[in-house]
Amino acid sequence: MKRRSFIQKLSLAAIPFSIGGIPIKLMGENSLTRMAEQSTNDRVLIIMQMHGGNDGLNALIPVQDYDLYYKRRANIAIPAKNSLRKMIPLDSTLPIESQIGLHPDMVGMKDLYDRGRMNIIQGVSYKNNNGSHFRGRDISFMGGSFDDYFSSGWVGRFLEGEFAPKHYPADFPNVEMKDPLAIEMGSDVSLIFHQEGNIPTSISINDPESFAALVDGLQGFKDSGIDPRGKPPVALNDSPYGKELNWILGLEEKSEDYADRLYQVYKAAPETKATYPEKYPFNAPQGSLTNGLTPQLKLIAKLLDGGGASQGVKTKVFLVKIGGFDTHADQVESYDATMGGHAALMYHISSAMKAFQDDLRLRGLEDRVLTVTTSEFGRRVHSNGSYGTDHGTGGPVFVFGKGAHPGVIGKVPDMTKDNVEMQYDYRQVYANILKDWMLVDETKINNDIFFKNFLSGPKEEGTGNYEPLPIADQIISGVKDHFLSERFTLNDCYPNPAKNTVTFGFKINSTVQVELNLLSVQGKQIKNILNEQKDAGEYSVKGDVSELPSGTYLYHIKAGLLNETKKLIVTR
């Protein structure tokens, strides 16, 4: 491979590297590679960018203030009842001011929530949010305030501050660390991975084999003998130009190694056994029908697997992307507010994340991966006359995974306002994920990562030090089972022992078909007590056992996630 060739043809390679047809960015910068090698845990963070500004109010519909919600956006409002497609009540156990309903196409998210694998934070924004796509995205990626202009990103600073420098590029990749730390899907170079004084880059090929053939076949640069590598004189080494060129020359060799490594891991990993969604099943604009998250998440699962958890990549951070959220017009179908472009996006995220979590579980990786969403701003409380919504401020953040602390943080937005008000500075969300999921020391979070306009001032204004929020769990334990049992429960029947009539009680947190049967101790059905659809709530059902002989019986309920059996004694 000729290094000088790489410089001459660099413009040909400055498009996304791809595996399996998915463009990705290899963050091959020295500190990132160094830090992956020295990471003390195997946890992975996936950041999902929802480009365009998501309308949180049609994703999370207010329950208590539904009438006002409908009044403010009657032409796009999701029905609460009396419709085949209506909002899905999320959690009846929440305080009334926090109760919400999900968009009818967010069935997958409802399932993840009920299983204790989703957290929702309401009203996330930053102080003085001006509703700009570009500025908003830069602010959320750099980890600053509205008046900051950092050249580094919060992920880059987090990683850079954790580990001491090592010589690069001579020592990397090596036997211990063969993989890039961060991989970004798509062709952009996002600020989130930048570090002060360093430039992230990407290599573009259709697959690693094509990339190797491209580099090997490049023609040499005509340097007139000044330097066999095509470099400028040594005197320029310490200049900005010389430093950047040296960085590019080092990346050339690393790119080939990374490309080959990722391709081999990808090919060695078994295909998924989970069922991923491909198309939106209802009406939406043509460009919104295909699920763009599916191939990205499939790829990540395969790379992390690699034919076995110990053989997969050690990459720490992934950035995946889904666009289409700038819904000024035709956010919904004019004849049905539950369908359209935004509905398709909600379906894509909900169904793809459900499949991804299934995929991770089947591969034995579920304990390692946490996903958090980001969007540059929310939308206005009121709709416009074009069946859409305009740029707003705050919006919800979704966190997915076995490491997510299940629940809802914050209250339903105030429907009397023009904008969704900020309840939590976005940096509080990231800070909690860094501390509780990536296991970063709180001092480093405050001093090295979110170090400006986050150290002083009242928290209600979006500043101030790290503040604990129950977003992610440091230790994955029985909290999920406790969360589930609080919402789906088969109570002890009474009286027990019984002679004539028995009262069976249960609680469910979803609208499901409930089947309650009386069984013999051998498991044979003796009598059906109940078989009908029930909404979320607590129920009592009476059963007649007067004709049964004395003995021990079982009563079994199957109601969505609730599948439980208990003992009943009948006496005469």
Q: Note the pLDDT of residue 253.
A: 61
Q: Which two tokens stand for residue 340?
A: 């359209």
Nearest to 342 by CA among 301, 389, 376, 305: 389
**Does the structure show a pLDDT above 90 at 275?**
yes
Q: Which two tokens stand for residue 44?
A: 């992975």
Of 293-302, 374-383, 401-410, 471-480, the range with the lowest mean pLDDT is 471-480
**Does the structure show a pLDDT above 70 at 140?**
yes
CB proximity list for 457: less than 8 A, separation 6 or greater = 463, 464
Helix, strand counts (H, E) of the chain: 14, 20
> From CA 252, how far away is CA 6, in angstroms rounded?
7
Of 120-134, 165-179, 254-268, 376-390, the range with the lowest mean pLDDT is 165-179
Q: Note the pLDDT of residue 314.
A: 84
**Does the structure show a pLDDT above 70 at 427?**
yes
Residue 537's SS3 state is strand
Q: Note the pLDDT of residue 199.
A: 45
Mean pLDDT, the chain, integer: 84
Q: Note the pLDDT of residue 215.
A: 40
Residue 387's SS3 state is coil
Q: Taking residues 109-138, what's their average pLDDT?
A: 95
3-state helix, strand, coil in the chain (%, to 5): 30, 20, 45
Dmax of the chain from CA atoms? Answer: 106
> From CA 309, how far away is CA 346, in angstroms rounded?
31
List the end-to-end C-alpha distance of the chain, in Å, as a whole number: 90
Write the pLDDT tens digit of every residue in 163-215.
334 433 445 566 666 777 788 887 677 888 877 765 443 332 233 344 344 44
pLDDT above 90 covers what percent of the chain?
62
Q: Taking residues 507-520, what's their average pLDDT?
A: 96
Contact between 194 and 276 under an 8 Å Cβ cutoff? The reply is: no
Q: Taking residues 528-545, what's their average pLDDT?
A: 96
Other CB atoms within a 10 A radius of the CB of residue 532 amount to 8
Write the pLDDT tens digit of every residue in 305-323.
998 756 898 888 899 999 9
> From CA 505, how far away is CA 329, in angstroms rounded?
48
> From CA 235, how far away is CA 459, in angstroms rounded?
51
Q: What is the pTM of this model?
A: 0.87
- In the CATH scheme, what is the code of domain 488-570? 2.60.40.2550
Q: Phi, psi (5° rounding) for residue 24?
A: -140, 160
What is the Rg, in whole angstroms, of the alpha carbon atoms belonging to the chain?
Answer: 27
Q: Taking residues 430-441, what's their average pLDDT?
A: 94
C-alpha distances in angstroms, 279 versus 204, 262, 282, 339, 349? 28, 28, 9, 14, 12
> Which one of 213-222, 403-412, 467-476 scores highest in mean pLDDT?
403-412
Quickly tell me which residue has 């977003």 as its tokens: 471
Q: Note the pLDDT of residue 459.
A: 55
> From CA 265, how far away is CA 258, in angstroms rounded?
11
Q: Note the pLDDT of residue 562.
A: 96
> From CA 69, how far away is CA 61, in angstroms rounded?
8
Q: Phi, psi (5° rounding) for residue 299?
A: -65, -45
Q: Note the pLDDT of residue 435.
A: 94
pLDDT band at 465 (very low <50, low <70, confident <90, very high): low
> From CA 389, how far away is CA 77, in angstroms rounded?
11
Nearest to 376 by CA among 338, 323, 415: 323
